[in-house]
Structure 1
Amino acid sequence: MPLASPPRLIVFDLDGTLIDSRVDLCNSVNATLAQLGKPTLPEAVISGYIGDGASMLVRRAIGDPEGDITDEQYVTQALTFFLDYYRIHKLDYTYVYPGVLEALQAIRYTHPQTLMAVLTNKPVHPSRDICDHFGLSPFFFQNYGGNSFHTKKPDPHGLEALIAEASTLAGHAITPAETIMVGDTDIDVLTARNCGAHSIGCTFGLKPHSLEDAPPDHLAHTPADWLAFLVNPQQTF
């Protein structure tokens, strides 16, 4: 189904889409490993673990991606330390990608009726705190995290919930066909597909290589491409 021009709802991923949080996440993982007496990991390795939420990030880092460790207390200890450490250090090196604020301002100015929101697998409180800190929150009517629902992306439940909320705010039904999911990983693309929404993949993010596994409808090489796509939905970058 063709995209409505302009779309009525744009939902953004956070890490690798709006912000570069790689260093703070990697430092928090390595601090956790050191606390557990395990060897630290290269940043490139940890970066490949990002995207499925804090619990999976920690499980992958400690060598338990499939949940095979039977000592759940050990896993909980690792996750608790990681979250506590990250809560303190989440803004040490994290920054907003160049052009993001300008792109959001331009979308708000040129398409004032288009609603925007955040849907991330990062826990909701640090997600909202980071967006507050960098002045991103005023652009979004909602910011949901990986612990906001019983499932995470790529399950479509969170995106469906945002579409329902946006419909209430707009005073009319917004359909998935009028919705765009913007993210830097295959997880975001699959979330859009599972919901029936459109997708934009950001090649400047943390895991752009994963977009090869689930090609998005369009690619954005810079945040400015978001606006270019809204102006001309048939454009390719």
Structure 2
Amino acid sequence: MTIQHLLRGKTIAFDLDGTLVDTAPDLITSMNWAMNQAGHPVTPAHIVRNRIGRGAKALLQTALQYHQINVAPPQIEKMLQMFLAHYAKTSTENSIPFAGAVACLRALQAHGATLSVCTNKLEYLTLPILQKLELLPLFGGVFCPDNVPAKKPDAAHVLAAIAPVSPKNALMIGDSQPDVASAKAAGVGCILLAHGYSEIPVAELGAELVLPGFDGLEAAILHCFA
């Protein structure tokens, strides 16, 4: 088999936030904007960064808890809508691919792999980031919770992102517990990148392999299918 076909028939699904792209700066800016609009103080980035994988509401709840502020559920929902509206306009201002991401994706494509995005971010927030960073053409599909029947950690999300190949011919690349849980439930191997937003040390999450970042990922994927 030629080098161009080493990964032919294989699908590699990638998480977005904390795996492919460092979206924390724009997410935290929008969260703090919503907090400010509601009359609350801003929150240091390190307090909420590792909650990004849990979604926008979790970021707000973490910030409110940090400041010991009690807010009624309707007010949290109002803040959430302000957060998302602001983020939709500013999501590409400071978000960048992690070091080595683009080169790795292109190398995997050159080996014949099909690449997909498997993210819990809604499609209307995901596509502009991939387009602005010129990543979208590298992927055969983008699978978000509003265009598939489930979201991570549900196995159905990963299975949709790797279809039509079987789990043994796929891998999930992520940075946190929902990525591992969904991959395991789907029978798909999982590699975690430690540069992301995990609340729990990634070495404790039970992935097949943990890497510091994209350095070495291409070789690790080739080894998985050797």
| Shared fold (TM-score, shorter chain, > 0.5) | yes
- TM-score norm. by structure 2 comes to 0.86
Q: Distance in 1 between matches of 2:152 and 2:201?
A: 15
Say if 2:18 and 2:196, in contact at 8 Å, map to a contact too. Answer: yes
RMSD across aligned positions (CA): 2.4
Pick the aligned partner of 2:191 from 200, 212, 218. 200
- Quote the residue 1:216 is aligned against: 207
- Structure 1 segments unaligned to the other structure (5+ residues): 168-173
Aligned-pair distance for 1:214? 1.2
- TM-score norm. by structure 1 comes to 0.82
Residue-by-residue CA offset, 1:85-119 (whole Å, 9 max, x unaligned):
11111122111112111111111112x2x211101
**Structure 1, 9-18 or 89-98: larger mean CA deviation:** 89-98
Q: Distance in 2 between matches of 1:94 and 1:151?
A: 26
| Pairing 1:103–2:104 present | yes
Residue-by-residue CA offset, 1:144-185 (whole Å, 9 max, x unaligned):
22433454211112112223xx31xxxxxx211221110111
- Kindly provide the amino acid, as one letter, of the partner of residue 41 in structure 1: T
Say if 1:54 and 1:122, in contact at 8 Å, map to a contact too. Answer: no
- Quote the residue 2:179 is aligned against: 188
SS in 1 for 2:115: strand
Pick the aligned partner of 2:36 from 8, 11, 34. 34
Say if 1:184 and 1:204, in contact at 8 Å, map to a contact too. Answer: yes
Residue-by-residue CA offset, 1:40-96 (whole Å, 9 max, x unaligned):
211111112210223333344344xxxx97x54323211110011111111221111
- Quote the residue 1:155 is aligned against: 154
SS in 1 for 2:224: coil
- Quote the residue 1:171 is aligned against: none
Structure 1 residues 3-152: aligned runs within 5 Å: 6=7, 8-63=10-65, 71-110=72-111, 112=112, 114-149=113-148, 151-152=150-151
Say if 1:32 and 1:78, in contact at 8 Å, map to a contact too. Answer: yes
Say if 2:49 and 2:197, in contact at 8 Å, map to a contact too. Answer: yes
Say if 1:119 and 1:159, in contact at 8 Å, map to a contact too. Answer: yes
- Kindly provide the amino acid, as one letter, of the partner of residue 126 in structure 1: L
Q: Distance in 1 between matches of 2:132 and 2:121?
A: 16
Tell me the percent identity. 26
Q: Distance in 1 between matches of 2:105 and 2:180?
A: 20
Change (3 A) 1:150 1:62: farther
Structure 1 residues 168-179: aligned runs within 5 Å: 174-179=165-170
Q: Count residues in correspondence.
A: 217
- Structure 2 segments unaligned to the other structure (5+ residues): 1-5
Q: Distance in 2 between matches of 1:147 and 1:58?
A: 22
